[in-house]
Amino acid sequence: MNGAGANGGRPGGGAAAAHSLGWLVAANAVGVWLAVLLVWPGAGDALAPLTFGRWAPVHLNGQLYGWCALPLVGALLAWFLDPRHPSAERHAALAVGAWSLALFLGCLAWLGGVASGKPFVDWHGWSRPLLPAAMHVLWAFLAAHTWWRRRRLSRVGLAARLAVLGLLLAVPSALYWASDRSVYPAVNPDSGGATGTALLGSTLALVGIYLALPAMLGLAPHAGSRRVAPVLGAWLVCWVIFGLAGKGDVSHHARGQIAALGALLLWIPLLPWAWAGWAWPAGARPWLRAATFWWVLLVTSGWLSFLPGWSERFKFTHVLVGHSHLAMAGFVASVNGAVLVVLTGRAVGSGVFRAWQAGTVALVGLMFALGVVEHLDPAGFLGGDGVARVLLALRLVAGIVLAVASFRWWRETCTR
């Protein structure tokens, strides 16, 4: 795959790649530590009072706001920044730097025990305004560059950017509000988890971002322009289904919920078909093929695990942890792999690609196996010396493979 990135990169791409991969390395190191603690719980005494519960939000949020989000920030910068502006790269570095600083301070807060206790919206106390503030910094740069290049943009291009700026303006306030301990989304009364409507909405929003990615990255639409209308139509129909689906605390036993979440099955072929309409550089294609593999598994298993009977069985087991890693370490990371190739104009060697994919297959497979063992013997799961401990130890090995692969990924992308 080396040398395939002949596109020369995008404005701000280097900064976004360096920070997102840096967070991947750091959050993976924390993941390995969590895995060590699950095999040898006594090892935690060495770092007391930094317990498993203090490190867990660092792992989760480092992966979500660092690794998963920053390549999308990079795509925004690529689309908005005025390539003729002499300080475009410095502005990108400042925007991404402010984001990373907020996340770093957030990590200090979580390690210090200042956390809301709500996974992924742990921002609490003095750390609550940090990321919203960094988002405003990013927004200000995006708006300023739109203003500077307003006369050189087409009418449609300018209108699209203004619409996105309008939407983005709401995000920091929404995050601040969602971090409130007293704010809770609708709850599925039979599982205590998310409702089908909520899962459909959040995944549809993500699908929308992933559909827009190739255009934001400035790829040429070799078949894209013909595919835009049917894909956009299907996406809007799904939002209508979302609008009709039951709101509030609805159970996964309700047929309407099962059917509504089933609308996502349509995207198994549609998302890869939409991506294939764009001229991706050669180095991005293996990552896109991997993303397609994970996408098929994710949507199928995600929907099946929502069905009555299955959901109750696996809700509080490692099957759900497996789902999270399938979604984020498998699917999102593979999409990010393709995005980073475009942003930096550099492709990583096939060694990194293969190690990441093989490590993730092992990690996710072991988590699903752990979930089944956990379901069969919940009481003997932790602290025993049986099969669960062997699986936890193997998961640690898979985690180390991923941690090393991420370090090489960072080095090959950012230091050559």
The single residue listed with the structure tokens 């979302």 is 242
Applying CB under 6 A, does 320 fall inside the site for ligand HEM? yes
**Residue 115 engages ligand HEM in binding (rule: CB under 6 A):** no
Binding of ligand HEM at residue 306 (CB under 6 A)? Answer: yes
Instruction: Count the residues in the chain.
Output: 416
* Alpha helices (runs of H) in 217-325, residue ranges in sequence order: 224-244, 255-262, 267-275, 285-304, 310-314, 318-325
- Looking at residues 17 to 76 of the shown chain, list those that interact with ligand HEM (rule: CB under 6 A): 28, 31-32, 34-35, 38, 59-60, 63, 67-68
Nearer to ligand HEM, 121 or 142 (CB): 121
Nearer to ligand HEM, 28 or 179 (CB): 28
In single-letter form, the type of residue at position 122 comes to D
Tell me the window of 6-14, 172-180, 371-379, 396-404 that interacts with ligand HEM (CB under 6 A): 396-404
261 lies in the binding site for ligand HEM (CB under 6 A): yes
Question: Which residue number, 341 or 355, has a Cβ lying nearer to ligand HEM?
Answer: 355
Distance CA 329, CA 210 (A): 16
- At 415, give phi and psi (nearest 5°): -120, 0
Separation of alpha carbons 399 and 364, rounded Å: 10
The residues near 62 (Cβ < 8 Å, ≥ 6 apart) are 23, 26, 27, 30, 103, 107
Residue closer to ligand HEM by CB (options 81, 328) is 328
The DSSP secondary-structure symbol of 247 reads P
Interface pick for ligand HEM out of 160, 191, 258, 358 (rule CB under 6 A): 191
Among 227, 263, 402, 413, binds ligand HEM (CB under 6 A): 402
Contact call for residue 372 and ligand HEM (CB under 6 A): no
Residues 6+ apart with CB under 8 A from 330: 290, 294, 297, 298, 360, 364
Query: Terminus-to-terminus CA distance in the chain, angstroms?
Result: 15
Q: Which of residues 229-248 bind ligand HEM (CB under 6 A)?
A: none
Least gap, CB of 143 to ligand HEM (angstroms) = 28
Asked if 204 is part of the footprint of ligand HEM (rule: CB under 6 A), the reply reads no
Q: Phi and psi of 193, rounded to 5°?
A: -105, -160
Q: Are 86 and 122 in contact (CB under 8 A)?
A: no
> According to CB under 6 A, which residues from 205 to 224 bind ligand HEM?
206
Q: Among 332, 342, 343, 348, which residue interacts with ligand HEM (rule: CB under 6 A)? A: 332
* 264 lies in the binding site for ligand HEM (CB under 6 A): yes
User: Per the omega criterion (within 30 degrees of 0), is the bond before 71 cis?
Assistant: no
Judge contact between 207 and 219, C-beta under 8 A: no
In the bound complex, what is the minimum distance in angstroms from residue 11's beta carbon to ligand HEM?
Answer: 26
Nearer to ligand HEM, 10 or 318 (CB): 318
- CA–CA separation, 15 and 213 (whole Å): 18
- Please state, in angstroms and rounded to a whole number, the distance separating the CA atoms of residues 90 and 264: 40
Of 40-48, 76-84, 159-167, 192-200, the window that binds ligand HEM (rule: CB under 6 A) is 192-200
Choose which of 9, 97, 112, 193 interacts with ligand HEM (CB under 6 A): 193
Question: Applying CB under 6 A, which of residues 100, 146, 179, 305 lies at the interface with ligand HEM?
Answer: 305
Binding site for ligand HEM (CB under 6 A): 28, 31-32, 34-35, 38, 59-60, 63, 67-68, 188, 191, 193-194, 199, 203, 206, 261, 264, 298-299, 302-303, 305-306, 315, 318, 320-321, 323-325, 327-329, 331-333, 399, 402-403
